[in-house]
Amino acid sequence: MPAGTPEPAAAPGRYPYVHDMPPPRNDVVMTKDEQKKAEAELMALREHQEQQGGALEKANQIIRTDQKIDTRNQ
C-alpha cells in the first residue's frame, strides 16, 4: 500500500456487500390454510366497510335533504 493510506476499518461496514445474501428461510411463510383464512378475514372486513360506507352515504343523503328543507323555510 502507498504511504499515508488509512488502515481498513476493523468493524464491518454499515451495509452488507452487494452479493452477500441472507441464508434461506427454514420455514414456510404461510401455509395454504393460513392464506385462505387471511383472505376470508380480509373479504369479511371489506364487506363490513362497504356496509358502513352505505350507511354513511344514506346518512349524508338525509343530512343533505334536511339542509335543503331548512334553507327553503328560512
Q: Grid coordinates standing for 53?
A: 360506507
How confident is residue 5, by pLDDT bands cut at 50, 70 and 90? confident
How confident is residue 68, by pLDDT bands cut at 50, 70 and 90? low
Cα distances from 73 to residues 11, 39, 41, 48, 67, in angstroms, run 79, 51, 48, 38, 10
pLDDT at 63 over 80: no
Percent of the chain exceeding pLDDT 90 equals: 20
**Regarding predicted confidence, which is higher, 42 or 20?**
42
